Structure 1
């Protein structure tokens, strides 16, 4: 069944970083909520809008690159984050997108000195601010080698063990999350196949645990995502 798009709502800007990347469940849920998706891929030369006046908000997704890279499109995206912040429009950064938000706000993006990564399922804990906001899942899916410092003035919403800053809010409408709630089963299977060489990194989990963990933890993660998107984009139109 095709979701019914609300023609009175402005589209949601979706920023992806590879030719075959999709917005996964984030895109599916936003469409179910009545948003059309305006998908842009700056890494492939597509431009981002100079204002979000014609959009309900923006989501920057993850990717294999680093927010510390010197590629022009990475620097442009980090600078572009100033637009939703200045215009007070809803913004969500996921993994790389969260790291770009942190970089824009003056925080460092870093890898752990011991080389440890989060690739697989890992526990998180909501902070007091996070608990006041909503109920959080106890386990989330991760696929990253870098994390971010908490930007000055930001509220930490969830924390973890290997990488302490897992979700934060800046101002009223900007959010960053380190983990991946957007993966469909097909996306996860693809990531497990294409990312298998990373499973030997310190603290990474073998591929079979990714799929087994999905059976145990994904229902709660999906329910959280639905509610979280309502919270982030509650005033979007």
Structure 2
């Protein structure tokens, strides 16, 4: 099976429970660091799927590696190589599909409730509501031909899907450790941020163990459904007659 490309941009925003899921199901993957390397692959053919994680950058920045990622995702869409976008990755997928990405009405940092649409409930076996972890300032329009999968009180478009390509304006992949590390690294940023959807560090870490456990159940259902779509090699067992024909 071709590996899944995982595009990681920040040390605090790793694949987390997604990586655990892939390891548990013996699914090969390759972690790529476009921001650190200054470039990204532009050909989707070597991969069975592409995962794009979060970033401190904006998708509208004119950086070579961001342009490379856009070309890669457009190639994946053309070849129907499944894409899974988290936060920045969701915005990149929306942009690759021709949708606009811009500032949300307010920053969204911390835990917030989202409502899950019937198509996503059916396709991903998800409940009607969930609490997910967020850290973003931008939002995307729903691309042409896609359907909204999640929506929130302070950010309408929290997710979409179009065929085998899925995007989430949030972080399903985080672990208890990664949230703590992210808060420590972003402490000054949290203090500067203002708005009704911004939590402080104390609020983010309150009941963290239980929140992460609940989020992992949502993530497991989502990752299970997304990886089930990946193309796998077919193996044929040849009988003795066929083998010697």
- How many Å apart are 1:37 and its aligned residue? 1.9
The answer on 1:158 being equivalent to 2:142 is no
TM-score, normalising length from structure 2? 0.86
Do the aligned partners of residues 173 and 190 (structure 1) sit closer, same or farther apart at CA in structure 2, a change above 3 Å counting?
same
Once residues 79 and 38 of structure 2 are traced to their aligned partners in structure 1, the CA distance between those partners, rounded to angstroms, is: 22
- Name the structure 2 match of 1:4: none
Partner of 1:217: 211
Shift in Å, 1:47: 4.9
CA shift in 2, pair 1:46/1:72, >3 Å:
closer
Instruction: Give the count of matched residue pairs.
Output: 226
Decide whether the 8 Å contact of 2:86 with 2:171 is kept in 1.
Answer: yes
> How many Å separate the matches in 1 of 2:23 and 2:38?
22
- Contact between 1:19 and 1:41, CA under 8 Å: does it hold in 2? no
* Range moving further from structure 2, 155-164 or 192-201: 192-201
Q: Which runs of 5+ in 2 are unaligned?
A: 233-245
Structure 1 gaps, min length 5: 1-8
Distance 2:218 2:13 in 1: 22
1:132 corresponds to which of 115, 122, 144: 122
The residue correspondences of 1:84-233 to structure 2 (distance < 5 A) are 84-113=76-105, 116-133=106-123, 134-136=125-127, 137-170=129-162, 172-200=163-191, 201=193, 202-203=195-196, 204-233=198-227
The 2-side partners of 1:164 and 1:213 are apart by: 26
Could you tell me how far 1:207 is from its partner in structure 2?
0.5
Determine helix, strand or coil for the equivalent of 1:28.
helix
Partner Cα separation in structure 2 for residue 235 and residue 156 of structure 1:
19
For residue 68 of structure 2, give the secondary structure of its aligned residue in structure 1: helix
TM-score normalised over the length of structure 1: 0.88
CA shift for structure 1 position 131: 2.2
Query: 1:67 is paired with a residue of what secondary structure?
Result: coil
1:27-106 equivalences in 2 (<5 Å): 27-45=19-37, 47-106=39-98
Superposition RMSD on alpha carbons, in Å? Answer: 1.8
8 A Cα contact 1:40 1:46, kept in partner:
no
CA distance in structure 2 between the aligned counterparts of 1:98 and 1:112, rounded to whole angstroms: 14
Distance in 2 between the 1:45 and 1:19 partners?
Answer: 13
Cα separation, 2, equivalents of 1:220 and 1:19: 24
8 Å CA contact 2:43–2:72 kept in 1: the answer is: no
Aligned counterparts, 1:17-28, within 5 A:
17-18=9-10, 21-28=13-20
